[in-house]
Amino acid sequence: MNVTPPPPPIVNPSFILTLNNLFAVAQTKELETRNAITTSKTWTFEKTLGYGAYGLTMLLSDRDPLNLRPVRKVVLKRPLMPETGVDDFVREAEALRNLRGHAHIIQLINYTANVGDFRSRGGRLARAFRRVKAAFNNPPVNLFRALSYNHGGPAILSEYLENGSLVRVMERLFDRRDQLPNRILWSWYHCMVSACVALTYKKEGPEGGPLEREKPQANGEHYRLIHNDIAHRNMMVDQCEPMVRQHRLVPKLVMIDFGLARQAIPGDEIRSEQMNLTDINIMMLGLIIPRSAVVHAEDLRLARWNGMITQAACILNDDRLPYLDPDLQMLLAESFKCNDELEPYGRPSLEETFQRTRRGMRKPATSYSEALRILELDETVWMIMQNLIFDADDDDD
């Protein structure tokens, strides 16, 4: 008996983003968004920050010709196609809303599942009234309304951190053949571990509310969030905080981009913590040796060291890294520890890593040997931060 196969599914080819047309689609979406923002009279397009597989990220500033409001810049994230990648946007917005209020997580300003819901139905008088009102208060709804006249689909507004990502820091370290002092390494390590701690419990703070530093939770429901894209490009450099000891000289790091984040199933709390922590530890190897090829787990090399098998071979050569704090070296070696079958074994927990990085971050310059002390002085740390971040040429625009 002949069986007629079912017809192939009808797929609109415009919804299939390939490498060949991704850039063209992104340029079209960028132009549409820029035009919508320009005509809004309430926001100004500054620049495009980047394209993703399904999304476009842009920097906007609050247009305030009367200078009635503080200067404000925001990051707008939109899908390239209203029909594509929407699930990632919904997940990212949900994660950012749940994590809002954590000090080491990028702060969500507002989110909508469909900007088309904000399409104005008022007349000319209503639009004029909104423009007058915007001179005193320019809420995100004004931007969503401006975007609604092109296409629907979700939009995410988040805070903007002007100092860039750790990629920029590593590029400058590589170009200058520099290395970071231990006090900077410890401080940033603790920042990144704190961000991992944030992924274990919901905060759900209000928009614009106070930020609280993360602490491991003994009680309460575990969030079990796995970021799935922890990398130097997704760790942003914030400002120094004179009133916070940890960030008086070294600026805070903030985790961004939760489009690939997933919640682990109940019972996988430890696995979710270790997945995030392993990615952070790989990032630390790159910060210690910016010229290293260690970017992914498969790049790690094995070594027998201090009675253990570890994948952190790249930082165990004392002749190559004579300045590295032995405590930091030991923590990272243990964080990549394996058994004889080369499986992860006996690695520090997230809470233990949090406590050990906090102790390391609090070490004063005087705790280091006399030969290394000059690299750890407040004046040296301040000068390096100025040269690498605050006074560096903005060569990424």
How far apart are the C-alpha atoms of 204 and 191, rounded to whole Å? 20
Residue type at 276 in one-letter notation: N
**Distance from C-alpha of 238 to C-alpha of 251, rounded to nearest angstrom:** 6
- Copy the structure tokens of residue 246: 């940890």
For residues 154 and 377, what is the distance between their CA atoms, to the nearest angstrom? 48
249 close to 378: Cβ distance less than 8 angstroms: yes
Q: What is the DSSP string of 71-86?
A: --EEEEEEESSTTSSH
Specify the length of the chain in residues. 397
- Tell me if 185 sits within 8 A of 262, measured CB to CB: no
**77 annotated binding-site participant:** yes
CA distances from 232 to 56, 66, 171 (A): 19, 39, 11
The residues pairing with 110 across neighbouring beta strands, listed in sequence order, are 157
Q: What is the dihedral of CA 267, 268, 270, 271, to 10 degrees?
A: 160
Placement of tokens 């394209």 in the chain = 51
Question: Dihedral through CA 336, CA 339, CA 342, CA 344, nearest 10?
Answer: -40
194 within 8 A of 277, measured Cβ to Cβ: no
Are 239 and 251 in contact, with CB atoms under 8 Å apart?
A: yes
Task: Give alpha helix (H) positions in 209-324.
Answer: 269-288
Tell me the two tokens of residue 277.
């922590």
Give the pair of three-digit tokens for residue 116. 């088309």
Q: Are 91 and 262 in contact (CB under 8 A)?
A: yes
**Separation between Cα atoms, residue 332 and residue 288, nearest integer Å:** 11
Annotated binding site: 77
Annotated binding site for ATP: 77
